Amino acid sequence: MEIFLIRLLQFMLAISILVLFHEGGHFFFSKLFGVRVEKFYLFFDPWFHLFEFKPKKSDTTYGIGWLPLGGYCKISGMIDESFDTKQMAQPAQPWEFRTKPAWQRLLIMLGGVIVNFFLALFIYSMVLFHWGDNYIKVKDMTAGMKFNTEAKALGFKDGDILVGTEKGEFKTFDVDMYRDLSVARKVNIIRNGKPMSISMPGNLDLLNMIKSTPRFAMYLSPNTIDSVIPHSPAMKVGLRKGDKIVAFNGKTVDSYNDFTNEIDRINDVLASANTHTDSLKALTTTIAFVHQGDSVPVKTAITLASDVRIGAVFSNILATYRQTHVEYSFFESLPAGAAYGWNMLKGYVGDMKYIFSADGAKSLGGFGTIGSLFPPVWDWQMFWMMTAFLSIILAFMNILPIPALDGGHVLFLMYEIITRRKPGEKFMIRAEYIGISILILLMVVANLNDILRALGYM
């Protein structure tokens, strides 16, 4: 429950910041061009609100709603999700959105996206300025990588150290490395201390590389115990800090990767268990480990916990390999943060094509998935990195040409600028209804996926 609350608070704080800045972008350009903003709300307020006030001599009512699905600016003379047809039936006023030139209306609609994008770049810059950049170079992972059957068919062998592609060296082991691998024609590696290269097809399925079990490539993590949880299965069989697991579930274990592969196999057996006896049988297996300083392994039976865990924490990879730390001055952090943010946007946009595949649709996630991206402890660096990433997602998703989103309004404004004709009011209202229906459907699908994953059906 504590972890859930910590993640929930981080998620709510991040969303609040991003919504305020997004709507603030619309608000800024509206005020700049003399357009009246009737309401400025954090969260939606159907039927009632939590807080509301209107400053003296102000046309804007500020408030906080109770439904945390976003927020809104109610701009005078604009067809939006409020469907205020009564106002639109009145004679147009000079302070209304509909009376302004198309280029001003365009900037008002782009305001939220612009602010979200530059907010992300600024946050990334400040994270680099305050904490610097800490990472482990792929070529410094001297124990090498473990590869699945697809990778081995291309010529990789367990223990190979990935160095880079024809485009350059890998920085660290992350999704960018996988992206480079998926389109590479040649991958440079180190095998048994000698540099060599492997030819690649250049069109691997990125989603399959990441989602396959085991993955296309994973760094070899140590199979050494860092700590043991009291009263756990690990403690009951005599595992101690510094011990090394050498076999599990009847298979030799050379790394933590091998251990997790066996855990996955047990999970598969457990999923098909029909009775309590079957489950208990699936959870009972064998383990062999070597105490620190000894050479003779201890072999014994072990009954795993119901969550298929042994109750031990393995050594951290960060303590195994040399970390690279890069510090940035304030002025150095600005272009570095901008480059980092731009790279994140390019990667996110490039990966969107997988959404239209069956596996991609299943990978869609709702609020639960987004919340789980935050760390289980309050870590300000990770919080700001996630907030910046969500700001990029919010900017991109809002610019999609779907009615009811900013991008839908931009699409109709571009049509008006090109043809010099405004779309009809009835058409705009119908389009808004269609857009809202699409958004509700996407939200239902994404959150239904979360529920199905939680229940073990996906």
CATH code, 178: 2.30.42
Whether the pLDDT of residue 138 is over 60: the answer is: yes
Residues 210, 296, single domain; the answer is: no
The pTM score is 0.79
Nearest to 14 by CA among 279, 284, 388, 381: 388
The last residue of one of the domains, among 160, 185, 218, is 218
Position 408 in a domain: yes
Whether the pLDDT of residue 72 is over 80: the answer is: yes
Position 291 in a domain: yes
Residues 54, 91, single domain; the answer is: yes
The last residue of one of the domains, among 161, 188, 218, is 218
Residues 18, 60, single domain; the answer is: yes
Residues 158, 262, single domain; the answer is: no
Number of domains within the chain: 3
Instruction: Identify the domain containing residue 295 by its residue range.
Output: 224-314
Model pLDDT for residues 203-229, shown as the tens digit of each residue:
998 888 888 878 899 888 778 888 898
Q: Residue 109: how many CA atoms within 13 Å on its side-chain side? A: 28
Amino acid in position 95: W
Residues 197, 228, single domain; the answer is: no
Question: Residue 265 corresponds to which tokens in the numbers above?
Answer: 């196999």
Residues 177, 92, single domain; the answer is: no
CA distances from 130 to 308, 337, 339, 374, 381 (A): 39, 12, 17, 20, 9
Position 400 in a domain: yes
Whole-angstrom distance, CA of residue 386 vs CA of residue 123: 10
Residues 231, 274, single domain; the answer is: yes
Residues 44, 87, single domain; the answer is: yes
- Mean pLDDT for 100-123 is 95
Nearest to 78 by CA among 429, 450, 457, 335: 429
Contact predicate 124/340, CB 8 Å:
yes
Residues 411, 299, single domain; the answer is: no
- Which residues are registered as beta bridge partners of 44? 67
CA distances from 435 to 327, 382, 407 (A): 45, 33, 11
Per-residue confidence (pLDDT) for residue 33, from 0 to 100: 94
Per-residue confidence (pLDDT) for residue 63, from 0 to 100: 94
Whole-angstrom distance, CA of residue 40 vs CA of residue 222: 52
Residues 91, 163, single domain; the answer is: no
The last residue of one of the domains, among 314, 336, 370, is 314
Position 322 in a domain: no
Nearest to 366 by CA among 448, 437, 435, 456: 448
The residue whose two tokens read 């619309």 is: 26
Residues 46, 86, single domain; the answer is: yes
Amino acid in position 387: T
What is the maximum alpha-carbon separation in the chain? 90
- Cβ atoms < 10 Å from Cβ of 163: 18
- Mean pLDDT for 353-361 is 68
Position 363 in a domain: no
Position 164 in a domain: yes
CATH code, 268: 2.30.42.10
Per-residue confidence (pLDDT) for residue 362, from 0 to 100: 67
Position 324 in a domain: no
Per-residue confidence (pLDDT) for residue 70, from 0 to 100: 86
Q: Read off the pLDDT band of 359 (50, 70, 90).
A: low
Higher pLDDT, 1 or 10: 10
Residues 214, 228, single domain; the answer is: no
Position 173 in a domain: yes
Q: Read off the pLDDT band of 458 (50, 70, 90).
A: low
Whether the pLDDT of residue 88 is over 80: the answer is: no
